[in-house]
Amino acid sequence: MAQERTYIMVKPDGVERGLVGEIIKRFENRGFKLLALKALQPSRDLLEKHYADLSSKPFFPKLVDYMLSGPVVGMVWAGKEVVKTGRVMLGATNPLASAPGTIRGDYAIDVGKNICHGSDAVESAEKEIALWFPEGVLNYERSLDKLIYE
C-alpha cells in the first residue's frame, strides 16, 4: 500500500498546555501510523525555513517569535489521505472558524495561538519531513492495518 505521510507539529502553546497526548491520541484512534516523534526547541533558522512561503506576510515575525517561545513536538503520521485528513482533524487556521470536534475547534481561540501545524499538501509534507527529521523516519509494516483498511 502506498504510504502517504504528513508532518504534524504541536506548537509551543499546545506543548505547554499539555495537549501533546490528546493530539497523538486522535491520530492513533483514527488509525494512522506513527513514523516519527520528537520534542525539540526549534531554531529561528529552522522555523524561517519551515514557514518560508509566508515570509512576506505581515504576521511572519510574530509567527516566528511565537514558534520560538518554547519546545515543539514534531511527528510524522502515515496512512491513506493522511495529509488532507490531518488538516480536517486540525481544523481551520483560525480556530474560531474551526468546527467543534476538530483540535483547534476544541482547544483554541486565536489564530496566533492555534496549537498545531499540519502539512497542506503531499509535496510540502515531504519537504517538511526532510526539514524536521533530517535523520530520517521509520518505515514499518503494521499487522493492525488489515483491521483498518479493506
| 70: partner contacted, choices Mg ion, ligand DAT, none (Cβ within 5-8 A by kind) | none
What is the rounded distance in angstroms from the CA atom of residue 70 to the CA atom of residue 112? 14
What is the rounded distance in angstroms from the CA atom of residue 31 to the CA atom of residue 145? 8
What is the rounded distance in angstroms from the CA atom of residue 142 to the CA atom of residue 150? 14
Residues 102-121 that bind ligand DAT (CB under 6 A): 111-112, 114, 117, 120
Residue in this structure with the C-alpha cell 506576510, named with its chain if needed: 57
Stretch 51-90: interaction string toward ligand DAT, x if CB under 6 A: ---x----x---x---------------------------
Classify residue 41 by its DSSP letter: -
Which DSSP string corresponds to 73-125?
EEEEEESTTHHHHHHHHH--SSGGGSPBTBHHHHH---GGG--EEE-SSHHHH
**Partners of 65 in the beta sheet?**
none
| 93: partner contacted, choices ligand DAT, Mg ion, none (Cβ within 5-8 A by kind) | ligand DAT
**Residue whose CB is nearest to ligand DAT in the complex, by number:** 93
Residues 13-52 that bind Mg ion (CB under 5 A): none
Residues 95-134 that bind Mg ion (CB under 5 A): 120
Question: CB-wise, 31 or 60, nearer to Mg ion?
Answer: 60
Active site residues: 117
List contacts with Mg ion (CB under 5 A). 120
Binding-site residues, in ranges, read 11, 59, 87, 93, 104, 114
The residues that touch ligand DAT, with contacts defined as CB under 6 A, are: 54, 59, 63, 93, 111-112, 114, 117, 120
